[in-house]
Structure 1
């Protein structure tokens, strides 16, 4: 019987042969890629790959080896495609990427829309990004803000996309698919809620507290200390502050920002009442123009792929191969296709980068659909 060292030596010999054959295979893939560049043939040939997988699995006798050799050749063919995509990009065959790089956003004199009302966190985010003197106005809903961009009544919209405690804003992801609008910037605002009421209000006068449902949840420990207060959900924190101001009832208070309290003339009775002190919300800046800042460093994509085993893995491999760092992934159900999902992915990079172009070229050919939501 062979010793462990002898068996390992034999395995090393086989591995050396595999490495040599891999080099030969990739050399052939490179030549095939050059031919495809010259002739305009698509890189991905699904029928050829299916036949190849059927052929190699047919040479295996047991199910374990069938599954293993299938996975091995799926990877080999995937690496071959990525090399060929690279050759296409080097040859200038980038596909359609109609985004124009700009040095800065043309924000002077621009109209900016935000959802909510005066004093909303989205207004604070708008002023943080565009400056306090920006020409801004508000609408009630996220959808109305996206419609304002689409129809041209606003040049930019500032919209919440993610909260560090509550997670993703699902409606925004759905709207990014529905509308032909694009992300060109982002800003992060700390969420530091207060308990605010009419000037001169005492704690023992309060009976009802109004705020957005998420904001009430985020201040649950503080509110539980006053269990006799009725908690009532409204559309957002600024509307809660406005309601307290308009109704002039000292039995009412609002969980809102100090900014909203100031805008609506309320007095802050308790500051920083959130359960978690580091809570913040990320806002995106959206426009209907296909532009990106030349120094942009993040790209947001929406990808749909075939509903079969390994498809998401193969999609993500384009980022791995091109050394692109994926910073976020979210999924949302696809309308009319039960239990199928589209994926929203953020990666680090710029649309002018060769690695990004290569990854996007591969995704374009292999995904069911790909949308670039913005580079910012």
Structure 2
């Protein structure tokens, strides 16, 4: 079977390809960047799975990687479908177009709800879980007015500002990004929103496996998706150590517009937002402030600079393989690998610097980094920077 395509729906994964993508993505040490590099290097997820043992050994892996079986993938896919959701690969028509325009977008998403919501211009609204009454009131007004103006409101289903944003935009359309699996919504008091959002034309989104309980480290990953889904991000209230500031930083790094609602200098919940304003965030006191800035972008959601250079479903041949696969081109030796490891340290460095320092060509370096990544020896940072993992 091969990936199917037509002018109406575009390229879609076959059932077999979807299972292999899921197996590869659920393999340990494989994140969004590594997944993409494996697909492009090996040509397909199936071939990547076959090559994993050799790549892992060459990278210095001390034990075999655990790759979920086809039966494991079938069970997860069936569980997703039982919940009325679908598993969408990057490059398929149902994948949110705006999310592809960020660095290292999730290769696959679990989506429950109306896919048409992603055709609306998206704006994120985030803020404090321990929100003030004034903060909640401002959030409700912003979300309601922006929703009526045609925006989809994106947030994280958390207490406080997130919940207020979702509630005020239920009728116009809202997108909730979950930190855990689709079957593990959090917090429990927002279950009514969890159920109401897809029932009212909105959508629930997560990159996490079914059954995954949300952990503290998963919330920044969720925040990355919130920022990536949106044209801009509004912070209503945030303390100096708020997770909303992480979302704002990620949005700024992605080239999204960051907005902030000013607050009293005496309120700790406004210190983060006031700091954002000092750093150059756009001030927001009403929906018109957002509309004036984003209106030039809403005619075409893809005009932001794209950092993801290759669509994983583009360039497929009739067998569903990437014609540009480089697995039979790049040649590396232990000497090359040692040169890269010696050049790396705890401080992240960019790929161009590594190329210049090691004297290797880009294909050789990408292969060695892929091997080291699978062996769990490096850490990938934003901006295509690499660091050696502490022993």
TM-score past 0.5 threshold: no
Computing the radius of gyration over CA atoms, which structure comes out larger, 1 or 2?
A: 1
Report the TM-score when normalising by structure 1. Answer: 0.26
TM-score, reference length from structure 2: 0.25
Higher strand residue share? 1
